[in-house]
Structure 1
Amino acid sequence: MTRPPELPQHARTVATKQPKLTSVMALKLVLTAVFWGGSFIAGKIIAASLPLMAAAFGRFFVASILLVGVAYHSEGGLPRLNRKQILTTAALGLSGIFLYNLFFFGALARIPAGRTALFIALNPVVTALAARLVLGDHLNARQWLGIGVAMLGSVIVIVKGDFAGAWHDLSQAFGIGEMLICLAVLSWVAYTLISRTALSLSPIAATTYASLWGLLFMAIGAADDILSLDWIGLDWQVWVSLFYIGALGTVAAFIWYYQGIKAVGPARTAVFTNLVPISAVLLSAVLLDEPILISMLIGGALSLIGVSLTNRR
């Protein structure tokens, strides 16, 4: 058997910078967006019965128990961390779990969900820019186009095709709610970029330690609510929602998102978050009998095209 010719140095460099997104990894990232979309529905049920910080604590309490179990079942336990890994996982828990939930729920308490979603739609673009500036990641013109198309599709779904009304809404005063949701976006971008520096840990180990750190920060911040709540007396729907958002919206989704960052980098992974509002709308239509508009179908198709452009070799 003859040895295949080596690629030129430039081609080898490009191949190194642009790793292949496998169909399995793509499916995991799509399901991650679906699980996060379903978390909006579960979150509404939980938020109606629990204070915001206590709700976030309940989510990651369930997630942390499951993650520790997964770590011991699949990897024989959690590795002992060195000083750098302790600081890195603490930063992951602080940014992507504690601060993100604090800012996100704080914004939802002050501004409409649609206005919040418009800011969240900027997440992939901000992540791509930050990855370029901080990590030196390279994206070609087609991939930047894909990010833009995916974001456009996401915005079409969020505003239901009414750009004039959305622009009028966004042109109003920039208040505390808007500031909080911008901080939420920056917190998630920080989590995504910090994840790159924690790649010496497995996705399960990194996600578990980050969740445990986030749980600790939430326990400190919401101690009074946690101790005063009648957890046993909660409705079964709240417990089902907590299990869903903890097991699928956190354990599976965070591990797969982290695997995506490890496989193809933060910018190409973050573009899949454009599918979150689309999945939330579709699940609301199926579970809550909400109408499906033509703008949702158009926006969903554009987002899928954008994701494909960004990750196509």
Structure 2
Amino acid sequence: MPSTATSRLDAALLASMPILFVALWSTGFIGAKFGLPHAEPFTFLFIRFVLTLALLIPLVKLMGSAWPAGWRLKGHIAVSGLLVHGAYLGGVFYGIYLGMPAGLTALLVGLQPLLTATLAGPMLGERIAATQWLGLALGLLGITLVLGSKLDPGAALFQGFGLGALACVLVALTGITLGTLYQKRFCTGMPLLSGTVVQYLSSGALLGLGALLLEERHVEWTLTFVLTLGWLVLVLSIAAILLLMALIRRGEASRVASLFYLVPPVTALQAWWLFDERLPLTALAGMAVTIVGVVLAARGQGRR
């Protein structure tokens, strides 16, 4: 009997792990919103990566994780890090810094699974299913509804942000998409934990250079900033990675991928609760259409 109860508890914990991962991941956008009033984007991210590496490198040694074999693989991992972490996080943080709402930012970059599935055809030689084309069309329709609902003829472009913020988030979307495809093609032998260290090193160097050349590097070390930084380092950059490792070991990586479409609505709910970010009915409908598009694209990819 005790073994049966233990098995049920293990099953319940396993079932909750993908949902927990998505819940943690969605807070990254909220963390950016909290921290950016106190530090410029590249400076903020550089500090985050330095602190993360200070914890992650000893963790690699403690867990006995093997380092990537050969400089060629290390180079490919570094390039994927520049795209997946440097371009993605840099674009997200700068877009929010320039006024893009956290919920809308999450929705736009949440198109990544759909865009990746579409580009996997020409870039990796994978066949694109009809379901994926339908998902792409729905995703584009949904994004049009969301952005169109925020058009303000009396403003520079959108309510609260302009083309600069939109361009930054599109850079983030492009970076995470190309980085995912690059990593899939060239980094198949990447050890997850130590490979993440290499990615953080390359992207941290890029963001540090950006902070040095483009920003004043002034930081207000308020309690809010310190707590936000601690959350992003410990919960996002460390705990979420370890949780992902546990899911992969248990064969649950596919469930994580299928649940990623929940990140935009979860972020939107958090942003509404914490920052009173509101979306009109047209935008909410567009978000629903976009989520359906991403789900269809993901299912179409899984059937190949």
Q: Same fold (TM over 0.5)?
A: yes
1:181 to 169, 173, 188: 169
Residue identity opposite 1:56 in structure 2: L
| Matched residue SS, 2:189 | coil
Equivalent residue for 1:87? 75
| Matched residue SS, 1:48 | helix
Residue identity opposite 1:235 in structure 2: T
Is residue 2:87 matched to residue 1:99? yes
Equivalent residue for 1:246? 233
Sort the Cα spacing of 1:187 and 1:109 in 2 relative to 1 into closer, same or farther, 3 A.
same
Q: Shift in Å at residue 91 of structure 1?
A: 0.2
CA RMSD of aligned residues (A): 4.6
- Provide the rounded CA distance (Å) in 2 between the counterparts of 1:286 and 1:178: 23
Sort the Cα spacing of 1:195 and 1:260 in 2 relative to 1 into closer, same or farther, 3 A.
farther
- Provide the rounded CA distance (Å) in 2 between the counterparts of 1:242 and 1:106: 16
TM-score, length-scaled by structure 2: 0.70
Larger deviation, residues 254-263 vs 80-89: 254-263
Equivalent residue for 2:187? 198
| Matched residue SS, 2:38 | coil
Residue identity opposite 1:274 in structure 2: Y
| Matched residue SS, 2:238 | helix
Residue identity opposite 2:36 in structure 1: A
- Provide the rounded CA distance (Å) in 2 between the counterparts of 1:209 and 1:227: 27
2:221 to 234, 252, 259: 234
| Matched residue SS, 2:221 | coil
- Provide the rounded CA distance (Å) in 1 between the counterparts of 2:247 and 2:122: 20
Residue identity opposite 2:234 in structure 1: A
- Provide the rounded CA distance (Å) in 1 between the counterparts of 2:293 and 2:207: 38
CA deviation vs aligned residue, 1:189-210 (integer Å, no higher than 9, x gap): 1221122121212211221210
| Structure 1 gap segments, 5+ residues each | 1-21
Q: Shift in Å at residue 36 of structure 1?
A: 2.7
Sort the Cα spacing of 1:29 and 1:99 in 2 relative to 1 into closer, same or farther, 3 A.
same
Sort the Cα spacing of 1:104 and 1:27 in 2 relative to 1 into closer, same or farther, 3 A.
same
Q: Shift in Å at residue 215 of structure 1?
A: 1.5
Contact 2:99 2:165 in 1 (8 A): yes
2:44 to 55, 60, 72: 55
- Provide the rounded CA distance (Å) in 2 between the counterparts of 1:227 and 1:298: 38
Sort the Cα spacing of 1:189 and 1:229 in 2 relative to 1 into closer, same or farther, 3 A.
same
Residue identity opposite 1:204 in structure 2: L
Equivalent residue for 1:165? 149
CA deviation vs aligned residue, 1:32-58 (integer Å, no higher than 9, x gap): 432232122221221011111111112
Is residue 2:250 matched to residue 1:282? no
Sort the Cα spacing of 1:265 and 1:94 in 2 relative to 1 into closer, same or farther, 3 A.
same
Larger deviation, residues 93-102 vs 46-55: 93-102
Equivalent residue for 2:35? 46
| Structure 2 gap segments, 5+ residues each | 1-10
Residue identity opposite 2:35 in structure 1: I
Q: Shift in Å at residue 85 of structure 1?
A: 1.3
- Provide the rounded CA distance (Å) in 2 between the counterparts of 1:54 and 1:182: 21
- Provide the rounded CA distance (Å) in 1 between the counterparts of 2:163 and 2:112: 19
- Provide the rounded CA distance (Å) in 2 between the counterparts of 1:286 and 1:103: 24
Sort the Cα spacing of 1:209 and 1:107 in 2 relative to 1 into closer, same or farther, 3 A.
same
Equivalent residue for 2:202? 213
Residue identity opposite 2:195 in structure 1: A
- Provide the rounded CA distance (Å) in 2 between the counterparts of 1:69 and 1:297: 46
TM-score, length-scaled by structure 1: 0.68
Sort the Cα spacing of 1:77 and 1:292 in 2 relative to 1 into closer, same or farther, 3 A.
same
| Matched residue SS, 1:201 | coil
CA deviation vs aligned residue, 1:35-94 (integer Å, no higher than 9, x gap): 2321222212210111111111122223222322332232x1452541211211210221
Contact 1:40 1:280 in 2 (8 A): yes
Q: Percent identity?
A: 20
- Provide the rounded CA distance (Å) in 1 between the counterparts of 2:57 and 2:286: 41
Residue identity opposite 2:116 in structure 1: T
Residue identity opposite 1:178 in structure 2: L
Is residue 2:26 matched to residue 1:37? yes
- Provide the rounded CA distance (Å) in 1 between the counterparts of 2:237 and 2:128: 28
Contact 2:36 2:44 in 1 (8 A): yes
| Matched residue SS, 2:149 | helix
- Provide the rounded CA distance (Å) in 2 between the counterparts of 1:269 and 1:148: 24
- Provide the rounded CA distance (Å) in 1 between the counterparts of 2:142 and 2:260: 9
- Provide the rounded CA distance (Å) in 2 between the counterparts of 1:202 and 1:218: 23
Residue identity opposite 2:27 in structure 1: G
Contact 1:143 1:309 in 2 (8 A): yes
Contact 1:145 1:310 in 2 (8 A): no
